[in-house]
Chains A and B, each alone.
Chain A
Amino acid sequence: MGLMDMPVFSALTDKMRWHQTRQGLLAENVANAETPGYRGRDLKQFDSGTMSAFSSASLSTSATQPMHFSVSSGVGGFDAQRMANFEITPEGNGITLEEEMMKVTTNMMDYQAATSLYQKSVRILRVALGKNA
């Protein structure tokens, strides 16, 4: 079982990729802030459904006979819900530099939170393995 098969890590990686993509779009907005006719773009909100998926994910019983009931919670494996790419939303053409700066800062802070969580998860894993963390 690789690290990416664990829901926590795949969810955090998704979130980090989302912030990375958003940073690129925000960079575009700032660079093109004074280009006439430019339409600013931003990413759609990170789908919290995928984030909550791993908290509610539970083990499902395997049906060895067709008569068995399925007791899975309906939420499949998290990996099935991983996003291949993110949807981009256009939002007006007027770009406010202040607003973009705020978005850039928020994006960075959220990204840092995600990387911190990632590091903590790795540390927990090391504790579980019996290594001094």
Chain B
Amino acid sequence: MDFNSSLRIAATGLQAQTARMRVIAENIANADSAGKAPGDEPYRRRIPTFQTVFDNEVGGRVVEVGRMAYDMSDFTSRYEPGHPAADATGYVQYPNVNTLIETVDMREAQRSYEANLNVVTVTRQMLGRTLDILRG
């Protein structure tokens, strides 16, 4: 396993965390997306999944973003009789997105991204030292 494969493994980590950030952004953006009419399903929270895959080309175990799963937990409902999507009792179904959880997830993705970036930086430094040998 050479330095190039280290860099490529770290790059898959960066990609995976970027994809995760995108899903988190979707969730947060749609935190208030209720349906248009009574009975419509509001936005359902999505969860990114990661899986370890052995990449023959790289020669290492890289991370890949798997299926985007749906969070099947219950929707929240709020009493808003004036809302176009309110049912007969005046309740509106809202997405099962908890902004707090999404924020924490976002931080985690950020930290993980930074860690992978750090690996890239360190590997590049090591690569630079190898080339320094040529200078004698």
- Interface residues of A, Cβ cutoff 8 Å to B: 16, 19-21, 23-28, 30-38, 97, 100-101, 104-105, 107-108, 111-112, 115, 118-119, 122-123, 126
Question: In the complex, how many angstroms separate the beta carbon of B120 from the nearest chain A beta carbon?
Answer: 9
Number of A-B contacts (CB under 8 A): 107
Residues in B neighbouring A108, C-beta threshold 8 A = 122, 125-126
CB closest residue in chain A, given B58: A24
A35 x B6 contact (CB < 8 A):
no
Pairs across A and B, CB under 8 Å, 16 listed: A20-B3, A23-B122, A24-B59, A24-B60, A27-B5, A27-B9, A28-B62, A31-B116, A32-B50, A34-B50, A107-B122, A108-B126, A111-B126, A112-B126, A112-B129, A119-B133
Interface majority SS (helix, strand, loop, mixed), chain B: helix
Residues in B neighbouring A112, C-beta threshold 8 A = 125-126, 129
From B59, B115, B118, B123, A23 is in contact (CB under 8 Å) with: B123
B60 x A27 contact (CB < 8 A):
yes
CA distance A19 to B132 in the complex (A): 17
Residues in B neighbouring A31, C-beta threshold 8 A = 9-10, 12-13, 16, 62-63, 116, 119
CB closest residue in chain B, given A119: B133
A23 x B133 contact (CB < 8 A):
no
Residues in B neighbouring A104, C-beta threshold 8 A = 118-119, 122
From A24, A30, A107, B13 is in contact (CB under 8 Å) with: A30
Whether B2 is near chain A, meaning CB under 8 Å from some CB there, is: yes
CA distance A108 to B16 in the complex (A): 25
CA distance A115 to B136 in the complex (A): 10
Question: In the complex, how many angstroms separate the beta carbon of B88 from the nearest chain A beta carbon?
Answer: 42
